[in-house]
Chains A and B, each alone.
Chain A
Amino acid sequence: MIELRKVSHSYGDRAVLRSVSLRLTERRIGVIGANGSGKSTLARLINGLVQPDTGQVRVAGLDPVREPREVRRRVGFVFPDADAQIIMPTVAEDVAAGLPDRTSDTAQRRVTEVLNRYGLGDHADHPAHLLSGGQKQLLALASVLVTEPDILVCDEPTTLLDLRNVTLLRRTLDELDQRVILLTHHLETLRDFDRVLVMDEGRVVFDGAPEAATSYYRELMATPW
């Protein structure tokens, strides 16, 4: 379970999260909101990439601030820009990078299995930076999932993708055994989710079923400034 208790965070004078309290237990959770609404900060808090100014975050009882490695072992994170996530020259090497003893036969077998599962098996030895946008995002996903996290946090992974790749990524996420927290602007992706949070100006302004949440969000966005 992920729990946030009265969490606030600011970048300088700009408050991006204002006393947010949440208990996240569902298998598929969506987070929507305008740019700058605090979605990404919320996601980064869960992974310990951002520390709360006030309040507490707990992931499976662990504090991401005090035990970041333990938390990150449990929580995988996929960023919007897959290019920035690639740290090794070839596809297979990038997936292996997160594994302990990455050159062992066991690690190599695991890499091959993961690459085949995400349709990248034929690209194992290809330069990672030459993959298409969709393939790069699948590689980012594979690189995170190879370590078998319990929870996957995806921060707008479809932002730079075309419709075909959005569909591909959505199907891939649907089939995952892991719990998924998805931040997105593609509202239809959240159709079958268990719970959707709507964020606005650092607060969770709606928390409920996907259809009601997306309707609320559309109305919110239609309101003139």
Chain B
Amino acid sequence: MVRRAAAVSRMFPRVSPVAGIGTYVPGATLVHRAPAGLKLALLIIVVTGVVASQQLWAALTAVLVAGALYLVAGVGPRHIAPVLVPLTPFLVLIGIFHTLSADVHSAVRVCAQLTAMVLLGGLVTCTTRVSAMLALFEWLLGPLRHLGLRPERVALVLALTVRSIPLAATVWRTSREAYLARGLRGRPHRMVVPVLVRLIRSAESTGEALAARGLD
């Protein structure tokens, strides 16, 4: 019975409603206070530099700097784990592949580069409010206004995308619970239709709420 429950659990993995994306960790540190544009620009420069240099020391330094910045920002392991844990299996696979196809040095370098990128990207996410990031995108897309694009619409779509991740996770979790509560087992594809229906209903409700708030 227990084994069966475990098998069902594996078949329907629990999805945490707290997805890593868009999780701002409140704070007033130097990293938090830095403008979103500066953080994003530094992220692009550092990542490009680390990848372009093809140097192991550069990649390892970037990992150490990222770790130090997490300490400065007061963002603890609880917030780093959701960023790093999903990456680990890929790092292992990539490491094995590079060791077999090239050498250990190359494997460590590539893994360090990836770790640095993910850590630095996660740091920007953890220390920047979504609204600040959206304001930056609105500003960056400003010149496209002349071509008929409405940057505020693009920003709203991005905000809704970020917001939809935990919503979709909740829909999946509640549908899964309802499925199991009715004594149904296996055949996870049967959940696709109810999940889609609930997501479409949520999207309709959100659209109506946007209109009611004058954001349509």
Contact with A along B198-216 (1 / 0, CB 8 A): 0000100110111111110
Q: Shortest Cβ distance from B37 into chain A, in angstroms? A: 13
Cβ contact within 8 Å between A72 and B213? yes
B92 at the interface (CB under 8 A from A): no
Indicate the size class of the contact surface on chain B: 20 to 34
Cβ contact within 8 Å between A127 and B130? no
Name which of B22-30, B54-62, B103-111 contacts chain A: B22-30
Q: Shortest Cβ distance from A125 into chain B, in angstroms? A: 4
A93 at the interface (CB under 8 A from B): yes
Cβ contact within 8 Å between A90 and B215? no
- Chain A contact surface mostly: mixed
Name which of A95-103, A170-178, A198-206 contacts chain B: A95-103
Name which of B3-11, B74-82, B155-163, B183-191 contacts chain A: B155-163
Q: Shortest Cβ distance from B199 into chain A, in angstroms? A: 11
B140 at the interface (CB under 8 A from A): no
Cβ contact within 8 Å between B22 and A89? yes
For the complex, give the distance between the alpha carbons of A194 and B206 in Å.
32
Cβ contact within 8 Å between A129 and B167? yes
Contact with B along A67-91 (1 / 0, CB 8 A): 0110011001101010111111110
Cβ contact within 8 Å between A144 and B24? no
B67 at the interface (CB under 8 A from A): no
Q: Could you say which of A85, A90, A124, A129 contacts B130, with CB atoms under 8 Å apart? A: A90
Cβ contact within 8 Å between B202 and A84? yes
- Chain B contact surface mostly: helix
Residues of chain A within 8 A (CB-CB) of B99 are none
For the complex, give the distance between the alpha carbons of A68 and B214 in Å.
8
Cβ contact within 8 Å between A84 and B209? yes
Given known contacts A87-B163, A89-B130, A96-B131, A72 and B212 CB-to-CB distance under 8 angstroms: yes
Cβ contact within 8 Å between A129 and B17? yes
B69 at the interface (CB under 8 A from A): no
Q: Could you say which of B129, B132, B162, B205 contacts A84, with CB atoms under 8 Å apart? A: B205
* Given A89-B162, A102-B131, 10 further pairs, Cβ under 8 A: A47-B212, A83-B202, A84-B205, A85-B206, A87-B156, A88-B159, A89-B163, A90-B129, A93-B131, A127-B166
**A-B pairs with beta carbons under 8 Å apart, 5 shown:** A83-B202, A85-B206, A88-B131, A89-B22, A144-B213
* Residue ranges of A at the interface with B (Cβ–Cβ < 8 Å): 47, 49, 68-69, 72-73, 76-77, 79, 81, 83-90, 93, 96-98, 102-103, 124-125, 127-130, 143-144, 147
The 10 closest A-B pairs by CB, nearest first: A84-B205, A125-B26, A77-B212, A85-B209, A89-B22, A129-B166, A93-B131, A72-B214, A103-B135, A98-B213
* Residue ranges of B at the interface with A (Cβ–Cβ < 8 Å): 17-18, 22-24, 26, 129-132, 135, 156, 159-160, 162-163, 166-167, 170, 202, 205-206, 208-215
